[in-house]
Amino acid sequence: MSTLRTVRGYPKFISQGFNEAYLPVWLQEAGYETYYVGKLFNAHTVDNYASPYPAGFTGSDFLLDPYTYEYLNATMQRNRDAPVSYEGKYSTDLLAEKTFEFLDEALRNDKPFFLTFAPTAPHSNVNIKSNIIDGNFSEHSVTQSPPIPAARHRHLFADVVVPRRPDFNPDTPHGVSWISRLPKQNQTNIDFNDHFYRSRLRALQAVDEMIDGLFDRLSTAGALENTYVFFSTDNGYHIGSHRLQPGKQCAFEDDINVPLIVRGPDVPKRQTTRLVTTHTDLAPTFLSLAGGLQRKGLDGSVIPLAADQIEQAEQASVRTEHVNVESWGIIMSEGNYGSVLYPNHTYKALRVIGEGYNLLYTIWCSGEHELYNLNTDPFEMDNLYDEHSLTFSYLPKADGAVHTIPIARLLVRLDALLMVLKTCEGDACVHPWSVLHPAGNVKSLHDALASRYDGFYSQQESVGFTKCEKGYLVESERPDRAVKSWVGVEDMEDIGVMADEVYVPKTTAPNLRTEKTDANLRTEKTEL
């Protein structure tokens, strides 16, 4: 039996001191009433819900483990009251009722408010054993089954099946690590997965009804045109692609590309943008809309919502570059087939989308790598990593010419960018190229691919692992922090970096040596 001992979720959040410094606290400081209904954290339980209570809420009603994912057996804890069991009530409908109660209260108070509705649908139905709450996780910790729809929706989508895309249950395995060893699914397995897929769609219908009710109430109260509504989810999902059983946690597009739909003042109707954003951008965006001061150290930036802001960001294009993706330890299958747990599922990945390129780059704890060009391979079936002799072509809008480079040149840039992102904080997460090029002359992958930087990037470290752990252990990652910055002679006066952190190109400064000072970089003539 494989067992993982971990400290995670709500206890980790408290131990790190975040209960006094996170979004709802900041919104209250900006004058907002704050309400929350549904799942707040993993490992937020019937035993630790008051140790301490989550701060920052005017009103709250939280789902508690070990019953969070049981559609017909939820336990919830309201404000400072004791937990209440709602056995037999359908979870999504129960959460909708409680959300509307808080919404009505907020509208009566006639103050600015922030309200979160966080149902678990369409997650699988999960019976959690006590040992996972205690921090011990094994293949016997949970029992999972397809999502349970409300009775009124069980007949819907009778003929719907998992989309049969090119990556669906392929004849040839894809990916690396344990994914590359998955067997082809038989028809019984496929039929079950189609049922699972229909169950997810059916379970979402109660969420759709809740959203209809939300808009009806806002409209009736005359508050709709002065309210921003954000719709998103915490992860994507795969069923059948790359021979995978139902689940999440992979770096493939199905798992990491999630919806973000926004309605509100000045948000253009029926407009879609391909600007890259992540959930780390939501807190800065909410603070901006609330008129609150931005907090130092946030790893995201404000999402452009108005038409002119979107147009400006799209034209600038450098805001749309990167997303960092990580997973640690194990992956859990949520269906009835395959293994319950797959080990050695630790990786660090990078999605880079810019002018003419759309890439996924993944480094696994096993030492394996993946590189996919989603412009030509949208289903991520052709791993380019082992084909270093191949070239990579892209067409940036800036000059309108096709650029063709060896893939090896691309990889060392991606390695350096991932090195920055794996330990970044604050602005470095938003503008990682500024860490590598502090003078500001490189703002995108296209800029970094210039041949003058080949020597610089060839000397950068790359992400690696000493072994595959069962959870996140930073000591098993390498290197810790070994990013060097490019500094040409023309940059030295203004940057103020330490000598052991820079790379001075010989073509630029063949007779310079550097000495470390307290404030900046001093250069002196010397003989080579």
Of 206, 17, 217, 249, nearest to 104 by C-alpha is: 217
pLDDT digits (tens, 9 = 90+) for 103-140: 999 999 989 999 999 999 999 999 987 655 555 555 66
pLDDT digits (tens, 9 = 90+) for 159-218: 999 999 999 999 999 999 999 999 999 999 999 999 999 999 999 999 999 999 999 999
Question: How does DSSP assign 340-385, residue by residue?
Answer: SEE----EEEEEEEETTEEEEEEEETTS-EEEEETTT-TT-----T
205: its two tokens: 């219908």
SS3 for 315-327, per residue? HHCHHHCEEEEEE
Q: Residue 502 forms beta bridges with which residues? A: 485
pLDDT digits (tens, 9 = 90+) for 234-266: 999 999 999 999 999 999 999 999 999 999 999
SS3 percent helix, strand, coil of the chain, rounded to 5, is 30, 20, 50
Residue 498 has pLDDT above 50, yes or no: no
115: its two tokens: 């309200």
Task: Give the integer Cα–Cα distance in Å for 284 and 302.
Answer: 5
Number of CB atoms found within 10 A of residue 165's CB: 14
Burial state string for 121-139 with b = 16 or more CB within 10 A and e = fewer than 16: bbbbbbebeeebbeeebbe
Q: Is 197 helix (H, G, I), strand (E, B) or coil?
A: helix
Task: Give the integer Cα–Cα distance in Å for 172 and 9.
Answer: 38
108: its two tokens: 């009566």
